[in-house]
Amino acid sequence: MLLTTRFNYSMSTEILKKIMPVAAPEFSEIQGCIWKIWLINEDHKEAGGVYLFKSATDLEVFLNSDLFASVTQNPYFSNLQTNTFGIEEEASRITGGPMV
């Protein structure tokens, strides 16, 4: 299962870029999360992530976690959008998708 998140941020981009590597270790320990790619669009002050989960259950646990709540309740983040997707593995492997 794949989760995408997208939100606007109101802090400076410089500060956000300093926070991301500090927060990354906690995100690397999400149960059932194989990887996360951190996203940033400085021109639009948007950030987000793409997560690959082992299962829909693992993804659901994350969406109900304190860690995810810390993102949704952050006063510097607004307009949070999330989407979940299944993965078409055969086609993704052909195009080099990191399925691990």
DSSP string, 3-21: EEEEEEE-S-HHHHHHHHH
pLDDT confidence of 97, banded at 50, 70, 90?
A: confident
pLDDT attached to residue 99: 72
- Is 67 a member of any domain? yes
List the domain range (segments joined by +) for residue 52. 2-94
Q: Tell me the residue length of the chain.
A: 100
Residue 85: strand, helix, or coil:
strand
pLDDT confidence of 98, banded at 50, 70, 90?
A: confident
pLDDT attached to residue 51: 97
pLDDT attached to residue 36: 97
Q: In what order do the strands lie in the sheet with 2-9?
A: 33-41, 46-53, 2-9, 77-85
- Tokens representing 39? 């996203």
Q: Give the residues across from 39 on adjacent strands.
A: 48
- Is 99 a member of any domain? no
pLDDT attached to residue 8: 98
CATH classification of the domain holding 46: 3.30.70.100
pLDDT tens-digit series, residues 11-70:
999 999 999 999 999 999 999 999 999 999 999 999 999 999 999 999 999 999 999 999
- Is 100 a member of any domain? no
> Cα(61)–Cα(75) distance, rounded to whole angstroms?
23
